[in-house]
Copies of this chain bind each other. A is one copy, B any other.
Amino acid sequence: MVFRYPNGHPISYDGMKKQKMQVKEKKNNFANRGMRFEEAINESNTYYLSRGTAVIHKKPTPIQIVHVDYPQRSAAVIKEAYFREASTTDYNGVYQGKYIDFEAKETKNKTSFPFKNFHAHQIVHMKKCLEQEGICFVLLWFSTLQRCFFLDSTYLIHHWDQQHTGKKSLPLSLIEEIGIEIKPKIAPRIPYLDAVNQYLHEKETKNNGKSTQ
């Protein structure tokens, strides 16, 4: 016996099951929700800001303005401008007195994170921030796998500097080992400050261990 909708179409239980699964999948998929990784981070920053947890912003895209029109009685219109390469990372701010600095990158790759996602000047900036004792990291998003990792920039720089040996990417297995996985949530979407807390806690434990030896 075939059950039918009021419009006469047969009800397929297989189809219903599939639909349900798709809904479940969508919950953790930024792409399906028309939301890119960057937007998820911006939303998380807004969440943290509104709760008074941290003040972290994405920097505006640097632009070289060449020509501006000033029409009477209306706003200035930029008529010719070019995108400039950023000399720093995209995000920075303050969290409990600490300087936070990070870059967010995504890959469709399933087994490793290619170094080409990072620019040399961003690596230089991270080195300089680490020298100033800033908290410096990258958020890595494997879009196909729907997995997000926090990675201390110290590790990224260490492996980046070994590119002359032929290394072109960070294997996922290594990221799983040295990074901290961040499970996307409803709010904040990317709870990356949880990973920062874990990182700070581990660092403190390590330092205490050193000082008592």
Contact = CB atoms under 8 A, between A and B. Distances in A.
B55 A125 contact: yes
A55 B96 contact: no
A77 B79 CA distance: 9
Please tell me how many copies of the chain the complex holds: 2
A129 interface: yes
A133 interface: yes
A134 B92 CA distance: 12
A59 interface: yes
A105 interface: no
A75 interface: yes
A199 interface: no
A87 B132 contact: no
A54 B129 CA distance: 8
A129 B93 CA distance: 9
A118 to B, nearest CB: 17
Contacts of A47: none
A128 B52 contact: yes
A33 to B, nearest CB: 23
Interchain residue pairs A-B with the least CB separation, the first 7: A97-B133, A94-B99, A78-B81, A60-B62, A94-B134, A99-B99, A94-B132
Interface of A: 49, 52, 54-55, 57, 59-63, 75-84, 86-88, 92-101, 125, 128-129, 131-134
